[in-house]
Structure 1
């Protein structure tokens, strides 16, 4: 099935990643339906305003067929769901509320997709599920890969750890289901690159995730590749740039701030210490945008 015949729902479409992803998917030929608590900025968007922490609203939103007065609910309405909706970072709300929002929205999307026969879910997981901030936990080796043990250091990262386990269980119980967990690194828009210069003299500002980032446009690329990923079951991929946010060589930074860390391979120059090798090999991901080219 080519992109032009694929109808895709995007939750959290008005968020940072969604605002770049939705036009990117449409440019690729997808028929995109946007779901968010916030009304769409484009009145011509096919959209539904829904609270995804409410199961009924989630089920209804993900069964949307047609538009305006001709719309109706139906199973199998979408070939894929891209689930971006969540609290974007810790402590925006009290911990219990953050846990409720992230976990209920993720469960409701997974379960609604299962009931509606939507077999392809792409979920915006996160690097934080591996113990970020690394300066507060014990980082066992670099480069971090998908075999690296998960650890929920705070409530936000705990919801990512539990979300990945929930994805695994859903796929165990439905062998036809595919849930691709994209562990997006710290997502950056091009206009944010100007602040990278302020970090060069103080690496401690960014050591929490080994100085890693991903350009928002490359995040969109990775999500589109995941939609086309022909597999079954739960899988996870780190989505990172090829280089860190620093000009200082990565090995030098690690030697200064993580002197006892284990190296699984040599890191050249400012090579990223959270590996995107699996995404490159399996999904065909290739970062195209680099902060050093745009400053």
Structure 2
């Protein structure tokens, strides 16, 4: 989705980026990635764990992303923003707190960035903007596959709704201030344990999904390695088309070691399929981020492919 017609692309990467939620899972990887790219960074974090400078932050500002004072302070000298700060699940606080914090933080950061003259922003949206995983409706399902940015939402929980609203807020403030913004709908994000200062949760999640594929069905078995998520957030600061955009990002293969068509036949048999999914092909359209900012994940789970076990003969949750 784009709110503006194509124009000239950014000719060079940013010089100094603000990273909100910098102490989080993706934020730490973003700081590390920016340092490797020669881009200075300011970290905005609720609490300072003490090692953000070691990861690459040139400056650390402690404060809430919903509070204009520390946000304005953290924007000093930056020409780009990577907005990650959020409560990442509806169970982590009350509904009003999750929805209020997430949407207020996005509005505060993007509006003040626009006022400060920042013209390139990426924000972490979520596959949950579509509302499937946290839906109370057992019949909740994607409208069609592969997923793309035009898919309708059925969001009804505080977190999913907040991410859908964040995307609308980004588009509105892009119209107001004239900046470029890319909202990345992230799937399950985790590391492979290959970098000491990052995580290894992806391995455990993949093992769990291999034992019980139903665990990954609400997210369509999509994943993105932490370093690839960080690179995508940074690369999205230089879109090839000006305007406001929403894109899904994920690894090109699923996290389940089973054929995608077999998984869909079992868990999403009634969902329209607009193309075939060979092997472990992820049921999501990755054309948009590839064309917009060169999205190309590098860190993938092993290419294991097995027959999907019969759930009667071989219980999947054993």
TM-score (norm 1): 0.89
Tell me the CA shift for residue 293 of structure 1.
Answer: 6.0
Q: Is the 8 A contact 2:79 2:118 kept in 1?
A: yes
Tell me the CA shift for residue 234 of structure 1.
Answer: 0.9
Q: Is the 8 A contact 1:151 1:161 kept in 2?
A: no
Equivalence for 2:267:
257
DSSP 3-state at the match of 1:227: coil
Q: Is the 8 A contact 1:50 1:61 kept in 2?
A: no
Alignment RMSD: 1.8
Distance in 2 between the 1:16 and 1:227 partners?
A: 19
TM-score (norm 2): 0.83
Distance in 2 between the 1:178 and 1:106 partners?
A: 15
DSSP 3-state at the match of 2:124: strand
Tell me the CA shift for residue 40 of structure 1.
Answer: 4.6
Q: Is the 8 A contact 2:43 2:52 kept in 1?
A: no
Tell me the CA shift for residue 143 of structure 1.
Answer: 0.7
Q: Is the 8 A contact 1:240 1:275 kept in 2?
A: no
Summarize the alignment of residues 99-110 of structure 1 with structure 2, pairs less than 5 Å apart: 99-110=99-110
Equivalence for 2:46:
37
Query: Deviation per CA, 1:164-219, whole angstroms, max 9, x where unpaired?
Result: 11111112223x21111011111011122432223223211111111111111111
Distance in 2 between the 1:185 and 1:89 partners?
A: 13
Comparing 221-230 and 19-28, the one that deviates more: 221-230
Tell me the CA shift for residue 27 of structure 1.
Answer: 0.6
1:180 aligns with 2:182: yes
Out of 30, 51, 57, the residue aligned to residue 64 of structure 2 is: 51
The runs of 5 or more residues in structure 1 that have no matched partner are: 65-76
Equivalence for 1:123:
123
Equivalence for 1:142:
145
Alpha carbons of 1:193 and 1:100: their partners in 2 closer, same or farther (altered >3 Å)? closer
Tell me the CA shift for residue 258 of structure 1.
Answer: 1.3
The runs of 5 or more residues in structure 2 that have no matched partner are: 1-10, 193-199, 305-318
Q: Which runs of 4+ in 1 moved over 4 A?
A: none
Tell me the CA shift for residue 229 of structure 1.
Answer: 1.7
DSSP 3-state at the match of 2:91: coil
Distance in 2 between the 1:43 and 1:137 partners?
A: 40
DSSP 3-state at the match of 1:81: strand
Query: Deviation per CA, 1:19-67, whole angstroms, max 9, x where unpaired?
Result: 11101111101011111111153374411101112123322222x2xxx
Q: Is the 8 A contact 1:40 1:47 kept in 2?
A: no
Q: Is the 8 A contact 1:20 1:216 kept in 2?
A: yes
Summarize the alignment of residues 1-12 of structure 1 with structure 2, pairs less than 5 Å apart: 2-3=12-13, 6-12=15-21
Equivalence for 2:168:
165
